[in-house]
Structure 1
Amino acid sequence: MNKKKIKVVCGIVLAMLVVIAFAVILNFFEKKADEKEAKKNNQTTKETNEKNPNVGIKKYLQIGDELYKYTDDVESYLIIGTDNSGNEEAVDDEYRGTMADFLLLLVINKTKNEYGYIQLNRDTICDVKEVDSNGEGEGMEELQLCTAHWYGKDKEQSCENTVNSVSLLLGELDINGYYSVGMEDISKINHLVGGVEVKIEDDLSKEDPALKEGSVVKLTDEQAQKYIRARMDVGDGDNISRMRRQRTYMSAYVKKAKEMFNENPKFVNDAYKDMTDNAVTDINGNEVSKIANMLSKMTSKGILTFDGESKLGKKLGDGIEHAEFYADRLSIVEVLKSLYYIEIDD
């Protein structure tokens, strides 16, 4: 073989080696890229499952002596309305949370494409963690649910402590977030939708002459405050009667808010921003928008409550009798069946 042919052959072999080497290198980097992508996908899946713990996972609730399970993809958010009994602007030892006057659990069942609410009686006797002003303490006491917000080192921990008590009451139910506002901000909330029309079910004429029993009134911001909060001088003065009025108002409010959202999808975000200075929450604006979008496409199961017994008692330990509500265990189970579709674990 002459030198010219040898050079040609060597050139071909060299070219083949370059192609093979390039292919090997390319395959190496493609494999690394695939591994990186797979790792990214696994991380995304992990994060998704962490954010949506119910997806494909069996959840358990211990209610009384029975263990219940559910597998639906469900999100729950606690809405808290506080009174002005505490000292929430103070810090350290001077901080005292307010009482949670109003408690509403929003339940979104994505599997069934449904949502509903559980209205909780503020006087419900349940386990409350006695967190001190340093944010410490694991002691539990059976107290009214409203007192859970009194304990903690700041507004956020007071809300978290309230979430914890509701979770324990419902068998250690997962609650995804909270949104808290002062009951004095009802007028501002009412203003967001331009007032709500309701039929007056109790005689509130002592609060406002226009709020006579049986009349239909589009509540002004000031009237909404009285309609929702009045208790002591209205009817039997019982919190259950006030809760009934609150459900009437909420049903009308949600209907009107939905109409405004359908007309203007930015309504919820605008409302969220308007309430920023008044609210304490761990739910951001994007999450609120996502929740609103889900609710607009779902079937509502309304506002549910627990049956139980109301009586006066001294659980609070101050020597004075206060209202106490003992929720019926079977009623709790029936409500959770309706929204979470729980069943006894075999």
Structure 2
Amino acid sequence: MSKQTNKEDINKKLEETIDSYWDDKKKDKNPDFDGFREEEIKPAPKEKKPFNIKKLLLIILIIVVAFVAAIVITILAMEHIGKKDLLNSNSANTEITGADGAELENDGKIVVYNGKKYVYNESNISMLFMGVDREEFNEGSTYQEGGQADSLFLMVIDTSTGESKMVPISRYTMVPIDEYHEDGSYWRQNEIQVLLAYTYGDGREKSCENTTTAISRLLYGMPISGYVAIDLSGIGVLNDAIGGVTVEVMEDLTEADSELYLGNTVTLMGQQAETYVRSRKSEGTDLEVDNNAPRVERQVQYLNAFLSQTLSQMKTSPTLPLKLYNLAEDYTITDVSASETLYLMTTMASGGLESEVVTIPSTAKRGEYTEVYVDEDALYEVILDVFYTEVE
């Protein structure tokens, strides 16, 4: 017999001896015990741990922090993308030119004028805002049937400081615009009122592009980074989205609304906001020449108040620009993205709550229609002030 077999026999006898020993022990304590039945073998109940409120609060806090961090990261990413896109864009297909006597270098980025040297501010972003005299934008409008640009404002933002300048442009300003036939084919360039640049388009993007080009042409080819056109229906919607806009009434408009009397402080809501920025009066010699001028002053006041309230609310609601952007989609035509809008508004919020208003010196004349002619020399001084920086 081998050693392996002997070892197995010994182990087997040892196991039998141990089992016999424990059986005897169990019977000594309970002679009737014959082992546990399977159904009697149950695991001991687990001890319930006390509810840990601190742990729950910690988990909730982690989730909230992660959510906020995700929002912040998204906002920062959108701002970065928006800045990059805007600084590289130019919606106006024009080249920089200069006034008589101006010497231009580096494609107009350097100007010597009246013995002074100026350098174009590459941090500038300019946006053209248009108010269109239509309740809504019509899909597939034919050329010359898309309405007019009733209001025009150029907003220039210095992204290095956040400071902004608002340049109102009279709708009657005479400027060379591109005219198109009803089928969209090019006709000619003609000096007429700038509000008609929108008319010579499709009532949508083409109209906006034509107007943007006309304004850039008026401003010696200054780049325009983007445009926003809003229809009449959108005024009250955006106005109410920030809780209304508070103004001191600048002109008696009680014929249109009893609350809009001179000097009254009112928070404009809904239709009332549209009434305040749209109404025109035609009484008096000056108004017969240009009844749009007082309205432009009210529009400037309203826009500055709207911006001020929006930028102020962004302190507690940093995503407000995105909310307004989404809300405005049904009422606007624009080539500005959501990320670009967020970047611009955030940048402006860092530079103050109001925009400096810069007026273009001009003269109004009345013929068959009102015509406004800019003072070219004074206009060029405005351009150098807004778009350039004087250097030694």
Q: Are the counterparts in 1 of residues 204 and 333 from structure 2 also a CA contact under 8 Å?
A: yes
Matched, 1:250 2:303: yes
Aligned to 1:227: 276
Alpha-carbon distance between aligned partners in 1 of 2:86 and 2:138, rounded to the nearest angstrom: 34
SS of structure 2 residue aligned to 1:257: helix
Return the TM-score normalized by structure 2.
0.67
Aligned to 1:91: 140
Question: Cα gap change, 1:278/1:158 in structure 2, threshold over 3 Å: closer, same or farther?
Answer: same
Aligned to 2:97: 61
Alpha-carbon distance between aligned partners in 2 of 1:291 and 1:107, rounded to the nearest angstrom: 10
Percentage of pairs with the same residue: 27
Aligned to 2:247: 198
Alpha-carbon distance between aligned partners in 1 of 2:309 and 2:86, rounded to the nearest angstrom: 34
Aligned to 1:78: 128
Alpha-carbon distance between aligned partners in 2 of 1:52 and 1:71, rounded to the nearest angstrom: 15
Aligned runs of 1:202-217 on 2, under 5 Å?
Answer: 202-217=251-266
Q: Are the counterparts in 2 of residues 134 and 152 from structure 1 also a CA contact under 8 Å?
A: no
Matched, 1:185 2:234: yes
Deviation at 1:90, TM superposition (A): 5.5
Return the TM-score normalized by structure 1.
0.75
> Which one-letter code corresponds to 1:75 in the other structure?
I
SS of structure 2 residue aligned to 1:103: strand
Which of 111, 129, 134 lines up with 2:178 in the alignment? 129
Aligned to 2:116: none
> Which one-letter code corresponds to 2:350 in the other structure?
K
> Which one-letter code corresponds to 2:247 in the other structure?
V
Which of 286, 299, 315 lines up with 1:262 in the alignment? 315
Q: Are the counterparts in 2 of residues 109 and 340 from structure 1 also a CA contact under 8 Å?
A: no
Which of 151, 170, 179 lines up with 1:102 in the alignment? 151
Instruction: Deviation per CA, 1:221-263: give whole Å up to 9, x if none.
Output: 2211111000035773611111111111112111111111111
Deviation at 1:89, TM superposition (A): 2.2
Aligned to 1:141: 190
Alpha-carbon distance between aligned partners in 2 of 1:204 and 1:249, rounded to the nearest angstrom: 15
Alpha-carbon distance between aligned partners in 2 of 1:64 and 1:122, rounded to the nearest angstrom: 25
Deviation at 1:334, TM superposition (A): 2.8
SS of structure 2 residue aligned to 1:117: strand
Aligned length: 287
Aligned to 2:358: 304
> Which one-letter code corresponds to 1:305 in the other structure?
T
Deviation at 1:132, TM superposition (A): 2.7
SS of structure 1 residue aligned to 2:186: coil
Matched, 1:151 2:200: yes
Q: Are the counterparts in 2 of residues 88 and 96 from structure 1 also a CA contact under 8 Å?
A: no
Higher radius of gyration, 1 or 2 = 2
Query: Whose RCO is larger (CA < 8 A, sep 6+)?
Result: 2
> Which one-letter code corresponds to 1:336 in the other structure?
I
Matched, 1:272 2:319: no
Question: Cα gap change, 1:67/1:239 in structure 2, threshold over 3 Å: closer, same or farther?
Answer: farther
Q: Are the counterparts in 2 of residues 202 and 234 from structure 1 also a CA contact under 8 Å?
A: no
Select between 327-336 and 100-109 the one with higher mean Cα deviation: 327-336
Unpaired runs of 5+ residues, structure 1, are 1-47, 314-320
Aligned to 2:376: 329
Aligned to 1:338: 385
SS of structure 1 residue aligned to 2:134: coil
Q: Are the counterparts in 1 of residues 131 and 149 from structure 2 also a CA contact under 8 Å?
A: yes
